[in-house]
Structure 1
């Protein structure tokens, strides 16, 4: 069993337990209390290079990334320094995230937020709506074709944006066939955690006309960002390289400094 398979197996067990205390129907009953969030794709497309800046405590590949860790302060620094959106990790076991972090960030900023999770159940999509997300991550490598198509429809039905994540040519084609209009190319192989920007350079040309393309992971320098823009990326998702800096907000601004 590879890392992604293990995380997804643990996630299914976790969500099964959570559904015992709050059913899908109970979650859905709270939808009427939630206002419409800012549009995710509009925010990414509003600048020459959109930045989805990530709030993440740790990861399986990097270990503990930042300590002390204040989700709201980090997110406010991102917002003040040109981020288009904020991604917040929902997984606790492997990434140290969760609903408390997401809620803290949601109340601290006005930017669109990405519900960054290993989605394996409709319950999580409903949960993203109740948390005030604007977008939901769907990982092609974690889903069968029928699940992927169904989840894309469910996310859109809730007026949220599915960010469909791929890592290779087969997954890219699956995302396209499922009708994805916002595709994230993860430069990190979630089965091995090896990372290279070559993944985006290889797959970007496959993106359909009009599709919003996001390059994710392994982005560390302004030069990286320039190269990714030239390759066709409309936005980048960056976490670890910002969070390791003393001032994540300044690091975000520096990363975008060569894009005009």
Structure 2
């Protein structure tokens, strides 16, 4: 079993337990009162290179990334230094994230937020809306074609943006066939955790006209950002390289300094 398969198996168990406490019906009953959040794609497209700056404690590949960890302060630093959006990890077992971090960030910044999760159930999509997300991550490698199409429709029905993540040519074709208009190319293979920007360089040429393209993971220098822009990326998602710096917000500004 790959790392991704193990995480998704654990996620199904976690979500089943959460549904016993708060049902999908409970979440749906709250939806009419939820304030609409800022548009995710519009924010990414408003600058020469959109930056989705990530808030996370740890990861399976990197271990503990930042300690002490203040999600609200980190997010405020990102917003003050030009980030277009904030990605917040929802998984606790593998990434140390969860509802508390998301709520702390949501209360601290006004820019759009990405619900960064291993989505395997409609419950999570409704939960994202109630939490104040603007976008929801869908990982093609974790879903069947039927699930992918269904989840994209459910996310859009809630006036949220699906960010559909791929990491190879087959997944890129599946994302395109599903009709997505916002694709994240993950430079980290979630089955092996090997990372290379060549993944974006290879797959960007396949993106449909009008699609918003996000390059994710392994982005460390302003020169990387320039190369990704030339390759066709409209935005980048960066976490670890910012979070390891003393001032993540200032590191975010530096990353965009050549654009």
Instruction: Assess same fold via TM > 0.5.
Output: yes
2:254 counterpart of 1:254? yes
Cα distance in structure 1, aligned partners of 2:21 and 2:27: 11
2:65 counterpart of 1:97? no
Cα distance in structure 1, aligned partners of 2:33 and 2:158: 13
2:167 counterpart of 1:163? no
Cα distance in structure 2, aligned partners of 1:25 and 1:48: 41
2:207 counterpart of 1:231? no
TM-score, reference length from structure 2: 1.00
Partner deviation per Cα, 1:56-101 (whole Å, 9 max, x = no partner)? 0000000000000000000000000000000000000000000000
The aligned counterpart of 1:196 is: 196
The aligned counterpart of 1:113 is: 113
SS in 1 for 2:188: coil
Quote how far apart the aligned CAs of 1:174 are: 0.2
SS in 2 for 1:180: coil
Cα distance in structure 2, aligned partners of 1:70 and 1:164: 28
Cα RMSD (Å): 0.3
Cα distance in structure 1, aligned partners of 2:241 and 2:28: 37
Partner deviation per Cα, 1:13-58 (whole Å, 9 max, x = no partner)? 0000000000000011111221110000000000000000000000
- Structure 1 residue runs of 4 or more that deviate by more than 6 Å after TM superposition: none
Quote how far apart the aligned CAs of 1:11 are: 0.1
The aligned counterpart of 1:61 is: 61
Cα distance in structure 1, aligned partners of 2:160 and 2:177: 20
Uncovered stretches (5+) of structure 1, i.e. residues with no partner: none
SS in 2 for 1:29: helix
Cα distance in structure 1, aligned partners of 2:18 and 2:208: 37
TM-score, reference length from structure 1: 0.99
The aligned counterpart of 2:209 is: 209
Cα distance in structure 2, aligned partners of 1:70 and 1:33: 29
- Between the two proteins, the alignment pairs up a number of residues equal to 259
